[in-house]
Amino acid sequence: MNVDGGAFVAKQATTDKRQRRERGSINPDDIIKGAFELAEEVGIDNLSMPLLGRHLGVGVTSIYWYFRKKDDLLSAMTDQALRTYVFATPYVAADDWRETLHNHAWTMRKTFMGNPILCDLILIRSALSPKAAQLGVLEVEKSIASLVEAGLSAEDAFETYSAVSVHVRGSVVLQRLYEKNLASADGTGAQLDDRMAIDPESTPLLAKATADGLHRIATTDDANFEYALNCILDHAERLIATGPKSKGSGKTTKSSVRQRNRAAATN
């Protein structure tokens, strides 16, 4: 963190002011690489152009020659992040469709959970280039194809995969946002009152359920993730069992109508 470089040296001919770099000495790839290095240290949220200039040993404004706005740089980083993500979550066929999709969901989760920067760029900031998005689409197709092969209709396969995808991304994002808040809270020395107080008088059931000290309320931990994931997979399994003749599960028909009414009432 040598931030104060040359601040008190004045503009004498001391020559340690940092040489002017030659023409081809930086390129977009170097900048992106340096940006990831810096993000690893300070986090995406604290990644700034002046900081990046310092990290690269480059005048801040030089970066603007290659990326006209910080947003453009972040987009380029997001595209690369997606390539990393797709590489880390290949489609791997297991014994059956259910295990395959189950594993895939967990691989996606683990990849994001183990790499906050991926999470911040791909899930929270989004904004993929169409070209990069195409990459992700290819992956999705393979997963859906395996569901169709297992006996789901194309539409059911699409819905099932979408549900799993939203579940993975949603729970990861909630967890990530929670982490961020914790970080900024204890950074400022605020309340370390992580586990919120459950009063057994007013909320006996919650007190009982959280008594083990393990469970937290409506948390996004692995067990919770697995639970809802299996709900979705169970549903798909029943769709396959009943065969392609009946559309929908039958069970959900009544509530689908209910939902439609509700949506109509709101619009």
Q: Which residues bind DNA (CB under 7 A)?
A: 3, 11, 17-18, 20-26, 47-51, 58-62, 64-66, 68-71
**From 1, 3, 13, 205, residue interacting with its own copies (rule: CB under 8 A):** 205
Residues 6+ apart with CB under 8 A from 57: 18, 21
Which residue, 63, 42, 65, is CA-closest to 53? 63
- Dihedrals phi, psi of 123, to nearest 5 degrees: -90, -45
Report what 261 binds from DNA, its own copies, none; CB cut-off 5-8 Å by kind: none
Specify the residue, 75 or 146, whose C-beta has the smaller distance to DNA.
75
Specify the residue, 17 or 83, whose C-beta has the smaller distance to DNA.
17
201 contributes a contact to its own copies by CB under 8 A: no
Specify the residue, 47 or 119, whose C-beta has the smaller distance to DNA.
47
Report what 12 binds from its own copies, DNA, none; CB cut-off 5-8 Å by kind: none
Q: How far apart are CA 267 and CA 171, in angstroms?
A: 28
User: What does the block give as tokens for 253?
Assistant: 């028909």
User: What does the block give as tokens for 78?
Assistant: 């997001």
Residue matched to tokens 């240290």: 41
202 contributes a contact to its own copies by CB under 8 A: yes
> Contacts with its own copies in 239-258 (CB under 8 A)?
249, 251-252, 255-256, 258
| Cβ at position 62, least distance to DNA in Å | 4
Specify the residue, 47 or 113, whose C-beta has the smaller distance to DNA.
47
Q: How many CB atoms lie within 10 A of CB 164?
A: 22
Residue 83 contacts residue 69 (beta carbons within 8 Å): no
Specify the residue, 16 or 193, whose C-beta has the smaller distance to its own copies.
193
33 contributes a contact to its own copies by CB under 8 A: no
> Contacts with its own copies in 50-79 (CB under 8 A)?
69, 71
119 contributes a contact to its own copies by CB under 8 A: no
**From 7, 137, 241, 264, residue interacting with its own copies (rule: CB under 8 A):** 137
Report what 242 binds from DNA, its own copies, none; CB cut-off 5-8 Å by kind: none
C-alpha distances in angstroms, 177 versus 42, 66, 116, 117, 257?
A: 16, 31, 10, 12, 34
> Contacts with its own copies in 163-192 (CB under 8 A)?
163, 165-167, 169-171, 173-174, 177-178, 181, 184-185, 188, 191
User: Using a CB cutoff of 8 Å and minimum separation of 24, what contacts does 126-131 make?
Assistant: 126/78, 127/74, 127/75, 127/78, 128/78, 128/79, 128/82, 129/75, 129/78, 129/79, 131/79
Site string for its own copies, 140-159 (x = CB under 8 A): xx--xx--x-----xx-xxx
DSSP percent split of the chain into helix, strand, coil, nearest 5: 65, 0, 35
Q: How far apart are CA 170 and CA 181, in angstroms?
A: 17
43 contributes a contact to its own copies by CB under 8 A: no
Specify the residue, 184 or 203, whose C-beta has the smaller distance to DNA.
184
Helix (H) / strand (E) containing 40: helix 28-42
